[in-house]
Amino acid sequence: MNETVDLRRDGPVLTITITRESRRNALNAEVARGITAGLDMADADHDIRAIVLTGEGEKAFCAGGDLQPTADGAPFSMDEADPSHYLAALFQRMNRARQPLIARVNGHALAGGYGLVCGCDLVVAREDALMGVPEVKVGLFPMMILPFLIRNTPNRVLMEMCLTGEPITAAEAVGHDIVNYAVPAAELDSKTDWLLERIVTKSPAGVRLGKQSLSRIREMSFDTALEYAPFMLANMARTADAREGFAAFNEKRSPVWTGR
């Protein structure tokens, strides 16, 4: 049983909540394992069509990693015999998620918490939530989360955030295409539910295959991507969901998705 992460299933939606409010929902290895367990649970259940990642309380989505000084006073160290890191494993797992990941940003998302936001597919946030990477203020740089930051933060905005350590609000982040929707705190749940409804009513097979394709195309050259895309489109057209979608369109009715 993981006491730092709560997993709650509500119909086709799985909500993963970091439950360390007293520590501002800070990341540690146990939290990473809990989030990973949630992603694995969703993968094993084809009836789950979307995943929400959020934090407990109203102050922090996630304040970053639990940095504690080591014996020599350093705030971070690696095991030379095992250079892997729980954050790297978590972000790799998030990158392989088959369902859409929606960040419900209930409070500040800083350092590794901002990395979690950038690792999600869509973001609904409190307009006053702060987002940023303050690592430079303690002599570090946001190394572990840079792959996700580079993907979802415009270069000059990212450079300013990294070099100054100063955060921006979610309302400001909307203007940089970092956040999809920034709303008053009282509207956070209703806006998240509104977005979820638009996702879970679509073809599960189409979403899963589309996410897989987008992830791979992102890493391809332009020419390779154009060779891969027709192959995946033909495969998708053979799914039961695609056949149902075409039939429903022609018959002017709502489709009945099976996820196959």
CA distance 18 to 191: 20
Residues 141 and 97: beta-carbon distance below 8 Å: no
- H or E element at residue 86: helix 86-95
- H or E element at residue 173: helix 170-175
Tell me the residue type at 122: L
Residues 162 and 115: beta-carbon distance below 8 Å: no
* Axis crossing angle, helix 86-95 with helix 112-119, rounded to the nearest 10: 20
Catalytic-labelled residue, pool 135, 160, 187, 244? 135
Q: Would residue 197 show up in a list of annotated catalytic residues for this protein? A: no
CA distance 8 to 97: 17
CA distance 105 to 31: 17
Residues 113 and 64: beta-carbon distance below 8 Å: yes
Do the strands 181-183 and 122-126 form a parallel or antiparallel pair, or are they unpaired? Answer: parallel
* Axis crossing angle, helix 29-44 with helix 86-95, rounded to the nearest 10: 20
Of the CA atoms within 13 Å of residue 258, those in its CB half-sphere come to 7
Residues that are catalytic:
135
